[in-house]
C-alpha cells in the first residue's frame, strides 16, 4: 500500500462523503405517539426530572455517552496554525474514531476562539451538553492552561489528547520495549527530544512510571536550571523530573538506553544511534517523517523502533488510547481523568501484547485489535472507582 497517493485518495473520498459524520435518531418518528413522547408534550417530564436533579441527565439524555472534540485549529497535525475551519476534517475524523473504536457519540466543535480565556469560557458553556471534553490541536502553551482550568471548573472528564493520548501509548510501548531488552525503567538512561504538548506529557508519564534517569532537549539545548528563560514557563515545571546534562544533543545519545523524539524529521543519524547502549530503544514520533527512519535506526544498532507511521510496525497512535480512556471514564461516570487513570490505561495497553510478540520486537498492539478499547476502558473505570472520582 506504500505506492498509494494518500493525498489524492483522501481528497477524493472527502469530496464524496461531504463530511464524515451524520446524525441518526434512536427514537422512532412515524406516529403521533412517537412525536408526543420524543417531543412535546411528553418531553417536558424528563426536563423536569433533570431540573430537580442534574444527575438525571445521565439517564434521560445522551450525556452518558457523548464527547465534544473541541479545537481552535492553532496546532493541527504537522500543519500548524491553519485555523478552526481548516481543522474541521481532523475533528470529524476524531469523532468517527470515537464511534468506531468505543461506540461513543462525538461532536466536532471548531471555534474561532484564540485566547485561553475564550476557550475556557466556551468549554464551560458547552459542558452541560456533553459527558466529556476532548481538547484537540490547540497550540502550546495555551493547551496546558485551557486543560488545567477546565478540569478545575467542571465535573466531567477533560482530556487533551495531543498530550495524554500520545503519552499513554508511548509509555505502553516503552514498558514492553524495556521488557524486550531486559531493562528496568528505574535505571534506564532515557534521552527525550522535544517538550511540546506530546513531549512534556510523555516525560511526565515515564517519570510517574518510575523513570529517574532522564535528560531532555528542546529546540535550543538541554533543559536546565541554568537557562533563565525557562523560569515561569511550563518547561520549568519539568526540571524536577530530569537530570542536569551539560552537553550537546549528539552527546546525549552516548550510552543512552532509550531515545524518545517528538520533535523534527531526520535530525537523528545512524551514527548517533550507534553510540547508544547495546540493543537500544528508539521511539521516534515526528510525523509523517520521524527523527530517524526505522531502517537507519536498526542499522545503527537499535533493537526496538517505534514511530507514528502506519506503514511500519509499532505505530504509536493516539487511537490506541483515547477511545478506551473515555469509554472507561464515561462508563464509571468519572468526574475527571486522573494521572492514575492514565497510568492504568498505559499498563492495560501494554498488557495486550503477548510475551511472544514482545520477544519478536512487537511492543504495541494493532489499532484494529478489538480488545484494546475494552481492556483500557475496564482498567480506567476500575482506577476511577479506586480513586473515588466517580459520581456514584
Do 211 and 114 belong together in one domain? Answer: no
The CATH number of the domain where 121 resides is what?
3.40.50.10380
**pLDDT (tens digit, 9 = 90+) per residue, 362-383?**
999 999 999 999 999 999 999 9
pLDDT-based confidence at 77, cuts 50/70/90?
confident
Do 172 and 115 belong together in one domain? Answer: no
Do 170 and 158 belong together in one domain? Answer: no
Do 120 and 228 belong together in one domain? Answer: no
* In a domain? residue 8: no
Classify residue 333 as left (phi > 0), alpha (psi -120 to 50) or beta.
left
**pLDDT (tens digit, 9 = 90+) per residue, 151-204?**
999 999 999 999 999 999 999 999 999 999 999 999 999 999 999 999 999 999
Do 112 and 206 belong together in one domain? Answer: no
Marked catalytic residue, from 94, 235, 333, 342: 94
Marked catalytic residue, from 26, 32, 33, 39: 39
**pLDDT (tens digit, 9 = 90+) per residue, 58-75?**
999 999 999 999 999 999
Phi, psi of 322 (to 5 degrees): -65, -35
Q: Active-site residue 39, yes or no? A: yes
Q: Active-site residue 94, yes or no? A: yes
Number of neighbouring beta carbons within 10 Å of residue 375: 19
Do 349 and 308 belong together in one domain? Answer: yes
CB 99 within 8 A of CB 20: no
Nearest to 161 by CA among 367, 371, 318: 318
Do 224 and 210 belong together in one domain? Answer: yes
Strands of the 302-307 sheet, one edge to the other: 213-217, 189-193, 258-261, 280-284, 302-307
**pLDDT (tens digit, 9 = 90+) per residue, 229-265?**
999 899 999 999 999 999 999 999 999 999 999 999 9
Do 172 and 131 belong together in one domain? Answer: no
pLDDT at 10 over 80: yes
Domain boundaries, position 250: 163-331+338-392
At which residue does the C-alpha cell 539545548 appear? 221
> Maximum Cα–Cα distance for the chain, whole Å?
76
pTM above 0.85, yes or no: yes
Q: What is the pLDDT of residue 287?
A: 86
* In a domain? residue 212: yes
Do 376 and 252 belong together in one domain? Answer: yes
Nearest to 159 by CA among 147, 149, 167, 169: 147
Amino acid at each position: 500500500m506504500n505506492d498509494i497517493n494518500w493525498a489524492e485518495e483522501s481528497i477524493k473520498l472527502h469530496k464524496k462523503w461531504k463530511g464524515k459524520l451524520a446524525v441518526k435518531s434512536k427514537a422512532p418518528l412515524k406516529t403521533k405517539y412517537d412525536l408526543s413522547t420524543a417531543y412535546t408534550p411528553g418531553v417536558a417530564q424528563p426536563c423536569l426530572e433533570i431540573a430537580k436533579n442534574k444527575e438525571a441527565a445521565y439517564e434521560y439524555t445522551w450525556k452518558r455517552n457523548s464527547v465534544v472534540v473541541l479545537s481552535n485549529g492553532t496546532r493541527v497535525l504537522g500543519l500548524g496554525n491553519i485555523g478552526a475551519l481548516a481543522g474541521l476534517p481532523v475533528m470529524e475524523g476524531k469523532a468517527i474514531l470515537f464511534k468506531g473504536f468505543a461506540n461513543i457519540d462525538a461532536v466536532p466543535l471548531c471555534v474561532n476562539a484564540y485566547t485561553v480565556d475564550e476557550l475556557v469560557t466556551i468549554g464551560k458553556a458547552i459542558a452541560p451538553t456533553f459527558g466529556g471534553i476532548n481538547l484537540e490541536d490547540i497550540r502550546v502553551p495555551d493547551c496546558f492552561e485551557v486543560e488545567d482550568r477546565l478540569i478545575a471548573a467542571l465535573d466531567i472528564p477533560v482530556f487533551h489528547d495531543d498530550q495524554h493520548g500520545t503519552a499513554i501509548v508511548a509509555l505502553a510501548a516503552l514498558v514492553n520495549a524495556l521488557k524486550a531488552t531486559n531493562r528496568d525503567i528505574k535505571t534506564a538512561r532515557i534521552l527525550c527530544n522535544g517538550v511540546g504538548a506530546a513531549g512534556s506529557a510523555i516525560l511526565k508519564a515515564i517519570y510517574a512510571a518510575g523513570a529517574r534517569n532522564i535528560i531532555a532537549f528542546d529546540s535550543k539545548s538541554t533543559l536546565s536550571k541554568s537557562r533563565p528563560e525557562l523560569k515561569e514557563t511550563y518547561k520549568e515545571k519539568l526540571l524536577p523530573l530530569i537530570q542536569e546534562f551539560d552537553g550537546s544533543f549528539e552527546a546525549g545519545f552516548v550510552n543512552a538506553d532509550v531515545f524518545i523524539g517528538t520533535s523534527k524529521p531526520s535530525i537523528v543519524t545512524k551514527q548517533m544511534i550507534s553510540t547508544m547502549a547495546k540493543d537500544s530503544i528508539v521511539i521516534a514520533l515526528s510525523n509523517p517523517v520521524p527523527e530517524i527512519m526505522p531502517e537507519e535506526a536498526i542499522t545503527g544498532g537499535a533493537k526496538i523502533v517505534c514511530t507514528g507511521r502506519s506503514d511500519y510496525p509499532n505505530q504509536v497512535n493516539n487511537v490506541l488510547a483515547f477511545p478506551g480512556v473515555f469509554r472507561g471514564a464515561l462508563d464509571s461516570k468519572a468526574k475527571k481523568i486522573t494521572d492514575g487513570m492514565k497510568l492504568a490505561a498505559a499498563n492495560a495497553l501494554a498488557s495486550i501484547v503477548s510475551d511472544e510478540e514482545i520477544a519478536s520486537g512487537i511492543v504495541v498492539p494493532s489499532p484494529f485489535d478489538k480488545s484494546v478499547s475494552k481492556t483500557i476502558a475496564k482498567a480506567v473505570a476500575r482506577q476511577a472507582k479506586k480513586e473515588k472520582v466517580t459520581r456514584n
